[in-house]
Chains A and B, each alone.
Chain A
């Protein structure tokens, strides 16, 4: 038990630890896809566009996460549906979605009732507010991610590695890309409660980047990213609690430090000769 009587694990509220564990699984599977497919900027664009969805939901009177999910899924579909010939314009579209989503959210939340306009909470998250419903949402999403990887893992890897060759093999590259982006969008929304719009993409990107420094082979990288995500999240939570710092930013700072350290340390051994 914590001092306030809440069930505890590792000295932290149990619901937070379970949320971290589930989020770490997302970071391992979805984050590795994001990094290998070079979708970090695109993920950032989706997350920031989702902020506009939060603003719309608050104004209309919906649960904010539903608004975020709707806009994130719409943005993912828009980016996945970009014609091949126009894919060189993707970075511009990402930038526009990023900025317009933020602007829309700020404008709409500025006019919302005081209780619904916690802009800082939406931007940077607050893991202290994570509750059982959030854990159930995370668990459901993790289950979906695992089922999708069990059924389409080989196809998703082929598409992430070499989309041109995947197309030659008759794979529905556009559909698989959309499937991957939908998982990215939903994962970002699920992480909003913990680390907010601004930091969510860092939670997906940092663990695989650290794992790729030392590990070879996709299964090892995914497993390593899960471990790194859990370690940086728990360390960030503990450090934030003891230093009085906000949890989300502290988690991301710990992850950033881990990434720097991984770059300074010797890389994995490579083939001789």
Chain B
């Protein structure tokens, strides 16, 4: 069983790629409102951990227990590398609205969709790009559109995988402000090397390298520096 504030829990979770161990023996609980920083070297399993949290992968061992077994948890995800084809004939506003598919299926209305769309486009300075097709966006613009898609449904669990890569300085500031503005009940899991003290204030931190261990928050920025310079 999970507590009232628990969103999900990983119990002795392991994951293998083609027989090779990517992660093993992961015990992790994520509660509403947590701010979780995930650090570790490239290839250490950070993205695998994030996709297990999101239910995009099934664990090879152990299990993921969710507070909402029906899958009605609102999830936002900014992937490090989008999996879609940028030549797909879809506009920025259409892509962002796909972040509200769950709400529409749960009875949300088009006018609610439109209001949330306007809010997030304005916030991320995407109003002028709303009718632009993805193939015509710069890398930074596409990243902002992905952030908008992740936030447009006011997620309960927001998972960010190197979200500020390819953003310019101004967009980074806007992004971190947006993250700071997320409701206190939203759990945020952030995998990044860009953990400047002014950007994200985690309540917990994990170091992922095949296994997951909790870091003391005081060691956090030293670890981030090691990961950023030693492994990437």
Partners in one complex: yes
A residues within 8 Å of B by Cβ? 36, 38, 84-85, 154-155, 157-158, 160-171, 212, 215-218, 220-221, 270-271
| CB atoms of B90 and A167 under 8 A apart | no
Q: In the docked arrangement, what's the CA distance between A162 and B77, Å? A: 12
Residue in A closest to B98 when the chains form the complex, CB atoms: A158
| CB atoms of A217 and B82 under 8 A apart | no
| CB atoms of A165 and B149 under 8 A apart | yes
Distance of B154 from chain A, by nearest CB (Å) = 14
Give the bracket for the number of chain B residues in contact with chain A. 20 to 34
Candidates A161, A169, A220; contact of B102 at CB < 8 Å? A169
A-B contact pairs, 24 of them (CB 8 A): A36-B88, A38-B85, A84-B58, A161-B84, A161-B85, A161-B90, A161-B95, A162-B84, A165-B77, A165-B98, A169-B98, A169-B101, A170-B102, A170-B105, A212-B87, A216-B89, A216-B133, A217-B89, A217-B133, A218-B90, A220-B89, A221-B89, A270-B136, A271-B133
Is B197 close to A, CB under 8 A? Answer: no
Candidates B54, B72, B85; contact of A168 at CB < 8 Å? B54
Taking A155-B101, A170-B105 as known contacts, 10 extra A-B pairs with beta carbons closer than 8 A to each other, sorted by chain A number, are: A36-B89, A84-B57, A84-B58, A85-B58, A161-B90, A165-B149, A167-B55, A169-B101, A271-B132, A271-B133
Distance of A42 from chain B, by nearest CB (Å) = 16
Q: In the docked arrangement, what's the CA distance between A38 and B84, Å? A: 11
A166, A167, A212, A216 — most chain B CB neighbours (10 Å): A216
Q: How many A-B residue pairs have CB under 8 A?
A: 72
B residues within 8 Å of A by Cβ? 54-58, 71-72, 75, 77, 79, 82-85, 87-91, 95, 98-99, 101-102, 104-105, 132-133, 135-136, 149
Distance of A156 from chain B, by nearest CB (Å) = 12
Q: In the docked arrangement, what's the CA distance between A41 and B79, Å? A: 28
List, in ascending order, chain B residues with CB within 8 A of A169's CB: 75, 98-99, 101-102, 105
A170-B72, A216-B133, A217-B89 in contact; A161/B98 too (CB < 8 A)? yes
List, in ascending order, chain A residues with CB within 8 A of B87's CB: 212
List, in ascending order, chain A residues with CB within 8 A of B88's CB: 36, 160-161
Residue in B closest to A157 when the chains form the complex, CB atoms: B90
List, in ascending order, chain B residues with CB within 8 A of A221's CB: 89
| CB atoms of B101 and A158 under 8 A apart | yes
A161-B84, A164-B79, A217-B89 in contact; A170/B71 too (CB < 8 A)? yes
Distance of B149 from chain A, by nearest CB (Å) = 7
Q: In the docked arrangement, what's the CA distance between A160 and B90, Å? A: 11
List, in ascending order, chain B residues with CB within 8 A of A38's CB: 85
List, in ascending order, chain A residues with CB within 8 A of B133's CB: 216-217, 271
Q: In the docked arrangement, what's the CA distance between A170 and B105, Å? A: 9
Residue in B closest to A167 when the chains form the complex, CB atoms: B56
Distance of A221 from chain B, by nearest CB (Å) = 5
Residue in B closest to A222 when the chains form the complex, CB atoms: B89
Distance of A22 from chain B, by nearest CB (Å) = 24
List, in ascending order, chain B residues with CB within 8 A of A167's CB: 55-56
| CB atoms of A168 and B89 under 8 A apart | no
List, in ascending order, chain B residues with CB within 8 A of A36's CB: 85, 88-89
List, in ascending order, chain B residues with CB within 8 A of A215's CB: 89
Residue in B closest to A88 when the chains form the complex, CB atoms: B18
| CB atoms of B56 and A168 under 8 A apart | yes
Q: In the docked arrangement, what's the CA distance between A9 and B133, Å? A: 40
Q: In the docked arrangement, what's the CA distance between A155 and B102, Å? A: 11
Q: In the docked arrangement, what's the CA distance between A245 and B124, Å? A: 58
Distance of B228 from chain A, by nearest CB (Å) = 26
List, in ascending order, chain A residues with CB within 8 A of B132's CB: 271
| CB atoms of A162 and B102 under 8 A apart | no
| CB atoms of A164 and B101 under 8 A apart | no
Q: In the docked arrangement, what's the CA distance between A46 and B11, Å? A: 41
Residue in B closest to A217 when the chains form the complex, CB atoms: B89
Distance of B141 from chain A, by nearest CB (Å) = 10
Residue in B closest to A168 when the chains form the complex, CB atoms: B75
| CB atoms of B56 and A162 under 8 A apart | no
Which 9 residue pairs are nearest across A and B when measured between Cβ atoms? A169-B101, A162-B84, A271-B136, A169-B102, A168-B75, A164-B83, A170-B102, A170-B71, A161-B88
Distance of A175 from chain B, by nearest CB (Å) = 14
A162-B83, A170-B71, A270-B136 in contact; A212/B89 too (CB < 8 A)? yes
Q: In the docked arrangement, what's the CA distance between A171 and B87, Å? A: 23
Q: In the docked arrangement, what's the CA distance between A142 and B95, Å? A: 28
Q: In the docked arrangement, what's the CA distance between A220 and B37, Å? A: 44
Candidates A84, A85, A171, A217; contact of B101 at CB < 8 Å? A171
A161-B84, A218-B90 in contact; A166/B79 too (CB < 8 A)? no
Candidates A155, A168, A212, A217; contact of B77 at CB < 8 Å? A168
